[in-house]
Amino acid sequence: MLNRSKLMPMIYELVNNDKNFLNNIKKYLHNAFEEYKKIQGNEEELIKKIKDSNTSWLTAIPIENFSSIKPLPSVPVNYSVLAVDGSQIMPDHHEIRICYLINIGYVILSYGQNSYATMNSIPTLFYKEEELYKDTNGYKTFITQKDLSFKRTIMEYNKIFECISELDKDISMAFIDGTLIEWMVQGDENESIIISSILKTFNKAKELNIPLVGYLSSPKSNDFINMLRVCICPSKAVNCNTCSYLKSGNNLPCNKISKINDSDLFSIILKDGERSPMFLSTSHILERYGEHKIAFFYMNTGSEISRIEIPFWVTEKSELVDFIHAACYDQAKKGKGYPISLQEAHEQAVVSGNDREMFYNMLSNICVKNGIKMSRSYKSQRKRSGIL
């Protein structure tokens, strides 16, 4: 249990630290906003400087002029949205059987004439030797949390692939909770297999003219701020590896905006319902996405700044971009700050502590009825019963 008397001083220290940071952040925001105004109208020059730069951070590339802040388009009366989310019960060596479960929740919400809602979840149990272990350089190793996360991601995309054909291709979108950029996969031994698997869904979505949309609530990304840092750098050819300011020990010119992120800046640029210009992500994993490079924009939902990610082909269809802009805003309003369809998909997918307990009780009872002896580890039993 927590020792409150020892914890309290640390919490006070944290709060004081945050107060100091908030006092300083205004200065960084002012600097960033001034730089933002300076580059308007000079996009071509900036793009060239970004492409010629060598930085240690990811940098957005603008694909619309900076002056093109877009107001909220009309929200269509008739539209449909498919949302998918997943959850899992992790394998536990102290339980009666080593296995794991992935639960995929999905919803289809259709508005307007002939409106309807489909909500469901599909659990899948993994228990076979080949599902629990993998071969790593000739050694049999137990699957990791990361492996399970990748498997879940593939299953979420597979569910979209399965359901997307049910949508009206003229005015529908498929929602993913979070980023479309699977940067966590980069460097994994199965990187190629994982990316190939999810790109099947990207191809299907493009074929049906139904955009995949990644929704990031309260994003912490810095792609746009990093772009401004390249702009601020006095060097004509930006190269962080040979930065003369670093070598001389002087303050870096680009550091005058480094303490804020993209959503901090767009919270003072965008009004309720407006979206930013679109940008292309330069995440290295996207080199594997082929024609499905990921673009993004920021949007003021009225509650927060969210980041909306879309495949590049969508950016070339202004009517689709307007639809996504309007539908994302409408979904966030219906969900009182967060898209209602993603909330419902999460509710379908989530596996609570009670669900987990029920699962192991069901497994235990069925095993006993079939004459299979099962027992939990002493550690698990002691945690359940306590000492007293």
pLDDT digit string (tens) for 145-199? 999 999 999 999 999 999 998 887 778 999 999 999 998 888 888 899 999 999 9
Q: Which of 318, 280, 261 is nearest to 70 (CA)?
A: 318
H-helix or E-strand containing 341?
helix 340-349
Choice between 315 and 255, residue whose per-residue pLDDT is larger:
315
Average pLDDT over residues 68-92: 94
CA distance 351 to 342: 16
Q: What is the DSSP letter of 370?
A: T
Q: How far is CA 75 from the centre of its chain?
A: 24
Q: What percent of the chain has pLDDT over 90?
A: 63
Helices (H), 212-275: 223-232, 244-248, 262-269
Q: pLDDT at residue 17 above 70? A: yes
Counting every residue written for the chain, the total comes to 388
> Can you give the pTM of this predicted structure?
0.89
| Per-residue confidence band for 6, with pLDDT thresholds at 50, 70 and 90 | very high
CA distance 193 to 201: 14
pLDDT mean across residues, the chain: 90
CA distance 65 to 355: 50
In degrees rounded to 5, what are phi and psi of residue 18?
-65, -35
- Residue 108 corresponds to which tokens in the numbers above? 């289809």
CA distance 147 to 131: 10
Paired strand residues for 59: none
User: E-strand spans in 8-99?
Assistant: 61-62, 79-89
- What are the pLDDT digits (tens) for 261-291? 999 999 999 999 999 999 999 998 999 999 9
Supply the pLDDT for residue 385. 63
